[in-house]
Every structure is written in structure tokens, then in C-alpha cells.
Structure 1
């Protein structure tokens, strides 16, 4: 558990009042971050199940607008609660975080697969139906929070923190691959993992130094 909490601190404040507890154990990510990274996981899961992991075609302007609009609720919720205009709660944080995170995979896959000098005609998202299904994945996920079981704690914690690591590795991989085109992909992934763990460790220690008093 301590290792999972350590990794979670690389992106999250872990303030108890803004986090869910399952089986008397606080989740390693706050409600909003839990929503974001569970959204990322379920977004990837849907696209992989639809065999879109090699997609490289940018979404249409209408699809892009839909995605951008789905990010606004979290921005409004976060901004208005932090400046004191209104009080938020963990359910709202979870939902708005999920809406913000569930479409990240579209852009991660696009950055990873897009080829500047070649035709890009493999769709990642084909229509609004894809987007609606990805959003509806929140419904069964939200239901498991009522199950106060240590198995549920480990499942949610493992998925969200594992997804967090995966996102770090993928983004570092994209950067290194574009700089070192000829390098073997397996080597790039290994280097990306090491760099990701170093960055996450540094951010976690910084978080512990700056925000420990609020936990």
C-alpha cells in the first residue's frame, strides 16, 4: 500500500477530505484524480476492444468540440470551489474528473501513431456513439464504490495507479521516439519506464515535503 500511495503522490495531493475510503483505507488518488485515471483506463479499454490502438486519424472538428466541452465541467468545478464561490463534493469531483480523463487515450494514441509524411486514415473515434459509450462506462464503475471491500480497494488502486504509470511511460516514449527514430522500441520503452519512475519519485518526494501537513 505504501508504494501505491508513494506513486499516487506524484500527481495527487491525497487530502483525506477530498478522497474516497474503501474498507477504511483511503484511495491513493483523490476523488478527482481517481475519476481522471479510471476514465483514462476505461477509455483505453474501449479503444483496445474496438481494435483502434493503431488509429492515427485526427478526430473531426465536431468530435473534437464534443471532447473539449466534456472538459469544461471539471474546470468549472475546480475553479469555483477553489476560489470559494461554491462547495464541491467527492461525487462531483469523481464525475467531472472522469469526463476529463476518458478521452485522453484519443490524443495519446494520435500522438503515438500519427505519421507526418504518410496518410493517416485509421480512425480512433469514428462517431458520437463511440464517445457516448466511453462516457457511459462511468455508470458500472461508480457502482463499485458502494462495495466496502479490500478487494475493491486493491482493484481501484491498482487500476488508477497502474494507468498513471502507463500514461507517464507512453508520453516519455513518444518524446524519445521522435528524437531517436532509429532506436529499438523495446529499448525506448525500458528507458521511458526508468525516466518515468525517476520523475514520479521526485514529484512524490516534493509533494510529501510541501503538502504533508494537509494529509
Structure 2
């Protein structure tokens, strides 16, 4: 199971040890930035589910949209400035900027999934700034959990982040094939999306392992 988790995580992540968190001397399957992104995605989905926004289809207001884009700027600045050598980043910064980037993905995934062109879309996904603040503040307890040295915490974070990664693949491919074929066989489309996602992740993981290993 552990090998499978590392294999799936490698489909999107370089898994460089120096840029990853360790729990009980065991490296997490995603680097610090990717851990932040996909834990953010998971907690964003969880928040919207608990707030009963799962079927939301109303695009966010321009002010909310600009606020979300503003939260995406730190990961761009951190990535670019550290890549070109202007400064040295660290894993906590990578985690935080990754979280701010990922926690709002669910808003757009749900919008793509639920939006109906021919009908009135009036169900809010994000209502106001209070939602944005609550979603950002979820980062605080997560960073506390990440510091706990426990095998249970390792499995929890690894399972959630890699499972969320797979979930994002499936949802995006499901949205694509549903819009292409206009099929109402939802379960069949999800099954097809899962198979395609598994194939894509396997191919990317293989490429990462064999073609990019020299750059690690």
C-alpha cells in the first residue's frame, strides 16, 4: 500500500526529500508544496460539503474572484523567485502557499460540474468573505497536525493528499467526458473517468521515475 501511495503521488510531484516533510523519519508521498495544495483541496471540499454547497452552481462575484486570485499570487512569487535564485524558500512557506492555492480549487471544480448553461444558476458556492476567511483559517489546525510525530498522522495525511489527487483527476475527466458526450449514465462515466485517471497517473508516474530521476 505504501508503494502504491508513493507511485500515485509521483504522477504530479518530484518527491525531492529536501523539499518534503518527514514524520517519524518517513517522507510524505508529496513534497511540501503539493502536500499543501492537495490538503487544501480536501479541506476546501470538506468545508463546502459541511456548509451544504455541494450542488452550488452560481459563479462567485467579481470581488470574491479577485480575492481568490490574490491568494494564488504567493505561490507564484515563491516558486519563481526561488527557482531563479533570488531567494531561498523553505518547506513551511511552500506548504502555506500551496494550501492557499489549493483550498479554492473546489469552488471551480463544483462550478464546472454543476453549472447549467440553459438554466438559472442561483445556488451559491461561495457567499461572502466570511467563507474565504474560514477556508483559509483551516490551515492553522492542519499545520499543528503536521507537526505530530505519529504513524497514524503519516497515513492520514498521505492517504488524504494522494486520495484527493486521484479524486481531482477523476472529477476533471468526468466533467470533460460528460460535456463531450452529454450522457446521463453518471455511474458509467465515473467508472470510465476512474480508469482513464489511473492510466494517466500511471503514465506520468512512470515518466517522472524514469525520465526525470536525473534532475532530483
Tell me the TM-score normalized by structure 1: 0.98
2 CA distance for matches of 1:190 and 1:153?
A: 29
1 CA distance for matches of 2:70 and 2:100?
A: 9
Q: How does 1:1-215 map to 2 (within 5 A)?
A: 1-215=2-216
2 CA distance for matches of 1:154 and 1:7?
A: 14
CA contact (8 A) 1:35 1:98 kept: yes
2 CA distance for matches of 1:176 and 1:36?
A: 25
CA contact (8 A) 1:35 1:95 kept: yes
* 1:182 CA drift (Å): 2.6
* 1:161 CA drift (Å): 0.2
* 1:179 CA drift (Å): 1.1
Aligned length: 215
Cα deviation digits, residues 22-49 of structure 1 (max 9, x gap): 0111000000000000000000000000
Structure 1 outlier segments of 4+, above 2 Å:
210-215
SS in 1 for 2:212: helix
CA contact (8 A) 1:15 1:214 kept: no
RMSD, aligned α-carbons: 0.8
2 CA distance for matches of 1:173 and 1:32?
A: 26
1 CA distance for matches of 2:86 and 2:17?
A: 22
2 CA distance for matches of 1:74 and 1:210?
A: 26
